[in-house]
Amino acid sequence: MTGKPYAAIIGVGRTRFGELWYENPESMVVKAGLDALESVDKGLHRADIQACYFGSFMYQVTNKLGLVPGYISRELGLNVPMTQTEAACASSSSALHNACLAIKSGVYDVVLVGGFEKMTDRYGKIVDDLMFAADPHEFDSGFTFSGLYATIMARYMYEFGRNNEKCRIALAQIAVKNHHHAVKNPYAQFRNEITIEDVFKSTLIADPIRLLHCSPVSDGAVAVVLCKPEIARKYTDDPIYIVASQQATDHVSLFSRVSTLEIRATKLAVSKALKEAGITLKDVNMAEAHDCFTIEECLFMEDSGFYNKGEGWKGIQESIDSFVGSKHIPYVGDGWEVFVNVGGGLKADGHPVGATGVRQIYECFKQMRYEANENQVSVEGDIRYALCHNIGGSGGIANVHILAREV
Ligand code: COA
């Protein structure tokens, strides 16, 4: 890598994702936070935590709750600075980005970073609520997020897969793969295998998007403990380092973007992150991609540069067809192989929006330390680099973090 790492990850914790009717936002985030603190190998006192960074999109709306830092202060017994970040589905990766900057700047040595969302309490209304992260013109025209991504998917299929059934199949295969990856993930919302036929038979949500192309409505919380890289070995013999933390932004409205077929914020954040880490895509062994709808995983594979624009679906289809039956199904290309969304991604692990960014870090940390138990991915050699990609809305913001096993 080119510079000093931002931070070391020394502990992680999470709740199960799904319909957690008996939890509230504060209880979930405290559970994940305590789990993360307790997971630190050589022990960590709560008093060592110098600040907390949390991401959540809409707890004010879903649970009529404000000032969550005050609840977390009470539950954790801490009176340290606590910052809460809202960036729609990228809320907790934005919190993480801020925490990385704080540690790298030397302000703090040890911080707790979390993300949470409690969506099911608003069932029926949540789809409208999510539109806070879209342009009001889009909301007033009747769009939902499924509708916005359906616009992207329809345009993609028109431009690149016209009259080609294989393109339609590839965009369904992504859901099949991610459900398959979640079967052995004990925290995942959906642990059932699905078939391409199931996707095409599922309820039409916003043409061409069907229910099984979508991430679900979920509750859940995740937390990670970060420290200054120089002191990491005081807490664990196996720290994982954050060697890139990059953010890029773009228009909130789909209609005013240069193109509906690429997420410019993804392109910018990925290229800056790779440069910062001093690696190329060929070095990346695993990635957590923001698959809120399957088309978005396909766009990620193109916008990050794994496949050329318009050819992602072909690479995806060929890879999934070649590795069908494997425990984890990689995407392959010219001289590279990358496992994407090995715990099921947003599609099957679940998508409590404010928790997703840190959940991606949780997954990579566990996999890189060979602690994923039954769901451990098998890579030739170590998982040296993992890339986490988390976007907000339909692409108004993208955060990309690169984790490394060694620096
Ligand atoms: N994937 C797989 N199964 C799903 C699912 C999903 N995304 N969403 C719901 N289900 C299952 C439910 O578990 C339920 O199964 P059961 O009958 O065995 O209990 C069944 O499908 C019906 O569930 P229900 O809750 O009635 O579905 P719904 O029609 O109200 O909601 C969606 C389905 C797709 C509309 C909803 O999940 C959704 O809006 N997803 C997108 C969320 C979003 O926009 N997030 C932000 C992204 S930017």
Phi-psi category of 69—alpha, beta or left, where left has phi over 0 and alpha has psi -120 to 50? alpha
**Which residues are CB-contacts of 325 (< 8 A; sequence separation ≥ 6)?**
none
DSSP for 155-200, please give it. HHHHHH-TT-HHHHHHHHHHHHHHHHHHTT-TT-S------HHHHH
Cis omega (within 30 of 0) for bond into 208:
yes
Q: What is the pTM of this model?
A: 0.98
What pLDDT is attached to residue 211? 98
**CATH numbers and ranges of domains, the chain:** 7-124+216-404 (3.40.47.10)
pLDDT digits (tens, 9 = 90+) for 229-258: 999 999 999 999 999 999 999 999 999 999
> What's the CA-to-centroid distance between 190 and ligand 1, angstroms?
11
User: What residue type is assigned to position 171 of the chain?
Assistant: L
Q: What is the Cα–Cα distance from 121 to 143, expressed in whole angstroms?
A: 22
For the stretch 70-79, contacts whose Cβ atoms lie closer than 8 Å and that sit 24 or more positions apart, written own/partner, are: 71/26, 72/26, 72/29, 72/30, 72/33, 75/26, 75/27, 75/30, 76/30, 76/33, 76/34, 76/46, 76/49, 76/52, 77/46, 78/46, 78/49, 78/52
Q: What is the pLDDT of residues 289-306, one digit of tens each?
A: 999 999 999 999 999 999
Residue 1 reports pLDDT greater than 60? no
Q: If you average pLDDT over residues 263-271, what whole number do you get?
A: 98
pLDDT single digits (tens) 75-107:
889 999 999 999 999 999 999 999 999 999 999
- Look at residue 76 in the predicted model and tell me its pLDDT: 87
Share the mean pLDDT of the chain: 96
Share of the chain above pLDDT 90, in %: 95
For residue range 6-20, list pLDDT tens digits in order: 999 999 999 999 999
Q: Report the nearest-CA residue for atom 25 of ligand 1.
A: 217
CA distance 125 to 94: 25
Name residues contacting ligand 1 (CB within 6 A): 89, 127, 130, 145-146, 190, 205, 211-212, 214-217, 292, 351, 353
Catalytic, 351? Answer yes
